[in-house]
Structure 1
Amino acid sequence: MDILMLFLYMVPLSYLLFRLVKIVERRRHQCCYILDFECYKPGDDRKLSTDFCGEVMKRTKNLGLDEFKFLLKAVVGAGLGEETYAPRMVFEGRESCPTFDDGITEMDEFFHDNIQKLLERSGVSPSQIDVLVVNISMLTSAPSVAARIINHYKMRPDVKVYNLTGMGCSASLISINIVQNIFKNHKNLYALVVTSECLSPNWYTGNNRSMILANSLFRTGGCTILLTNKVALRGKAMLKLKCLVRTHHGGRDESYGCCIQMEDEHGRPGFHLGKNLPMAATRAFVDNLKQISPKILPVRELLRFSLASFLRRMRQSSSKGSPGGRPVINFKTGVDHFCLHTGGKAVIDGIGQSLNLSKYDLEPARMTLHRFGNTSASSLWYVLAYMEAKKRLKKGDKVFMISFGAGFKCNSCLWEVVRDLEGRNVWEHCIEGYPVETLTNPFMDKYGWINNEDPTTFKIPE
């Protein structure tokens, strides 16, 4: 009888242990690791120097004195240096009449260079790729750009393909989220994420101020990321995904229309950046932080912030004195490095102020904006590469990524550094010269005279 009772007790216990082992094993295979990533560096013949930018401005015949002054102010205040890159057709003087082939050529140059370098360095062949996610917001083709990659690299017929368009500057984290969800249901996969933006069809040549801004911010770039959930490769991984949160305010008309691809009143295509963009970004940013903060911050910091907020509300409802300053949550209690979207100098400064970040924290984003400009969805990875090149990323560090995009969207995630990162990347040719002072700008020295011109006599310089 005792043996029987012992057996009856042991059966459910062994079953529970079996289920626990299965759960642990499944979670081990659901992890999302970055094995390697490669940022794109176009040739030096595509750098936008001050002199060349001036030539592009001069041949844009739709600009008057007011537009010249506005564009000069935008360029000077954007935080970009003289080594950012533009599409090839701009250097050929065809930005006012781009063709469909210009967009395809721009993307092919990126695909053929960037993907090849990443796969060769990692030792993974195209036939080993199980999942391919491509995000190019402002170029659609049939077959898709993802199909062009499959055709060029002769990938397997059963590769799982996702081709994203219209996702804007926050698209790379959407791509990562797709891979993350696939990894939860399938073991031992390789995934390739390809993120870039096609500027050729959308280089604006009109005089609408809300659309001129895009030319002073967006630049050519791209990144390819190799991910896996193979447990055997975790020791070779660079980063491990801890959590990812996506916020979408497309249901609000003012958020939906603040950042949109469109044509101006004369039918010239471009990208409209509305005056209500900062407000839309702030709302999405706050909502996103509300969701991700409990996932990445220690309990003690959440309790401290909750208590400080409660006491402030109590003082505010009381007639005694002022409620004091608004409490600020300290993200540095759970985050070591901040990988911010390079949407512009004002965007970086605004996030820094909201999160109470130091000059050191903002340096990677500011320097990336200066060297490469806003490369849309790939900009986060240039910022990450800067941190790696500066040997900041040590084993166990937490890296917080946050990006904004048309829609309006705010997406964020937290990575854990798996091993010390000191690899060579897109910054290796110039990292010794950074950080640099970005307060002075050569555009003002060369073209500041425009501000003193008489509107009645002004003519575009030859």
Structure 2
Amino acid sequence: MNLIYVKTGYSRLITYLVPLCVVPFIGIIIIMKQASHMKQEDMDQVWLHLQCNLVRVIICCTTIVFGITFYIMRRSRPVYLVDFACYKPPPHLKVPFSKFMLHSTLNGYFNGSSLGFQRKILERSGLGEETHLPQALHSIPSNPSIAAAREEVEQVMFGALDDLFANTNVKPKDIKIVFVNCSLFNPTPSLTAMIVNRYKKGYDVRTYNLGGMGCSAGITAIDLAKDLLQLHGNTYAVVVSTENITQNCYFGNNRAMLIPNCLFRLGGAAILLSNKFSERRRAKYELVHVVRTHNGADDKSFKCVHQVQDAVGKLGVCLSRDLMEVAGEALKANITALGPFVLPMREKLLFLCSFLAKKLFGSEKKAYYVPNFNVVFDHFCIHAGSKAVIGEVERNLKLLPSDVEASRMALHRSGNTSSSSIWYELAYIEAKGKMKRGNRVWQIAFGSGFKCNSAVWKALTHVKPSPNTPWEDCIHRYPVAA
């Protein structure tokens, strides 16, 4: 850890070396210019005074220089979100309900009870008729091979990255830090290695692959990218958030493991971050806070989203009946950690009073005061895990239907795209022209383990939608009943 601090200090010293040298030089010039207008008698008196107080002058100047240096080196660099791009699947990969059920029937993996259960889940899911699945799952029988899985992830990652580079005019060689988070597909070579190979990046690129962290891993990657941008000056970082559907479709008849088949859909996002001050004038957002909480010490939380084999050896992800309860507890832990950073004093005092009143006089069933987060945030991007997940957050935070519109519409348009869902939601808000300068947006994501992560962004301008978003050709039709 000591080496990290040394490296940080060295990096910041080099970054701010010119200002640290120039400022004293400018000060000397100003003093000399002022001295040129002084009379000889006055200059003699000043010089005599300095000689008598030489030690004090040296101590004072040294303290000021060290104080300024320490402040500059300790100050966190702002992290800017220059732009982001969400993958837009081609039309031939659309999977309306009728096609989904037809393929499920023709594949022959599911019995009649399982087919009926999937139909009910689809009808209640909040998904629309325009979600997408990878090519391998359009085949009959399905083709969940490693080659097909690689083809899917290349299609999503490179599609999003190509749009991002085209929209920002940033060259791939300028990216020095690359994160990819994909929970259930971690091949060798890694997903980041695939990006390095595709864009022929230099040997000095820093790459990080996050796996097994569920739908909240995108914010985890943002947090880690932020930390690295504090270490390395004047650079870019890219975060690619996705999930692989091809190799993680369940072909059995366990109902708890069939639900992900009905909810998860093709998607991904690429996010360009930078600590360059020159990027502030065109960046969309500045990162304000990242708060990550983990309830994995509790066995019920740990096992509520579990990759397992069923009774006949079929691999899939099992969703526990306790999922909504676990998600609610994780959300409470996260907002308890985030609240002190963002809530005004009035809301903090109201919560404290309700807490004390319940402890002293109230019953166990009486709930704590829920802070009004609408006084802090203008927009909410809640992980579009399912209609039930969005509803649970809406109830817990006492949000209005308009607050969760982006989340419900992203679920309807794209399905559960895992960690990238919060970016489809942010793209929806931009496409609607609702993001104004100074607005704050709260991204909330849940992940296996069980985790709840939050990211808070501040809009630096009246944000306009980027070209080629998934909403570009359909935003006029939204919102819809979902």
Normalising by structure 2, what TM-score?
0.86
Q: Name the SS for the 1:198 alignment partner.
A: coil
Match of 1:94 in 2: 141
Q: Name the SS for the 1:56 alignment partner.
A: helix
Shift, 1:16, TM fit: 4.2
1:313–1:323 CA contact under 8 A, matched in 2: no
- The equivalences for 1:61-460 within 5 A come to 61-95=108-142, 97-316=143-362, 326-424=368-466, 425-438=469-482
Cα RMSD, aligned residues only: 2.0
Shift, 1:21, TM fit: 3.3
Shift, 1:34, TM fit: 0.6
Note closer, same or farther for the CA distance 1:123–1:346 as it changes in structure 2 (3 Å cut): same
CA distance in 1 between partners of 2:164 and 2:454 (Å): 24
CA distance in 2 between partners of 1:375 and 1:110 (Å): 11
Structure 1 residue ranges without an equivalent (≥5): 439-462
Note closer, same or farther for the CA distance 1:5–1:143 as it changes in structure 2 (3 Å cut): farther
CA distance in 1 between partners of 2:69 and 2:439 (Å): 29
2:100 paired residue among 53, 75, 87: 53
> Which digits, 9 at most, give the CA deviation of each residue in 1:158-201, with x for residues without a partner?
00110111111001101101111111222111001111000100
CA distance in 2 between partners of 1:347 and 1:285 (Å): 11
How many residue pairs get aligned? The number is 433
CA distance in 2 between partners of 1:17 and 1:385 (Å): 46
2:127–2:414 CA contact under 8 A, matched in 1: yes
Note closer, same or farther for the CA distance 1:92–1:62 as it changes in structure 2 (3 Å cut): closer
Shift, 1:2, TM fit: 5.1
CA distance in 2 between partners of 1:19 and 1:180 (Å): 27
Q: Name the SS for the 1:206 alignment partner.
A: coil
CA distance in 1 between partners of 2:354 and 2:54 (Å): 55
> Which digits, 9 at most, give the CA deviation of each residue in 1:180-239, with x for residues without a partner?
111122211100111100010011121100011001110000000110001121111111
Q: Name the SS for the 1:360 alignment partner.
A: coil
Query: Residue type matched to 1:338 in 2?
Result: F
Note closer, same or farther for the CA distance 1:435–1:5 as it changes in structure 2 (3 Å cut): farther
Note closer, same or farther for the CA distance 1:369–1:27 as it changes in structure 2 (3 Å cut): farther
Shift, 1:303, TM fit: 1.4
1:29–1:183 CA contact under 8 A, matched in 2: no
Q: Which has the higher contact order (CA 8 A, sep 6+)?
A: 1
Note closer, same or farther for the CA distance 1:286–1:5 as it changes in structure 2 (3 Å cut): farther
2:438–2:458 CA contact under 8 A, matched in 1: yes
Shift, 1:311, TM fit: 3.3
Structure 2 residue ranges without an equivalent (≥5): 1-47
Query: Residue type matched to 1:220 in 2?
Result: L
Q: Name the SS for the 1:184 alignment partner.
A: helix
1:217–1:374 CA contact under 8 A, matched in 2: yes
Note closer, same or farther for the CA distance 1:134–1:251 as it changes in structure 2 (3 Å cut): same
CA distance in 2 between partners of 1:74 and 1:18 (Å): 66
Match of 1:40 in 2: 87
Shift, 1:6, TM fit: 4.8
Q: Name the SS for the 2:196 alignment partner.
A: helix
- The equivalences for 1:22-37 within 5 A come to 22-26=69-73, 30-37=77-84
CA distance in 1 between partners of 2:203 and 2:271 (Å): 21
CA distance in 2 between partners of 1:130 and 1:17 (Å): 35
Normalising by structure 1, what TM-score?
0.89
Query: Residue type matched to 2:130 in 1?
Result: E
Identity %: 36
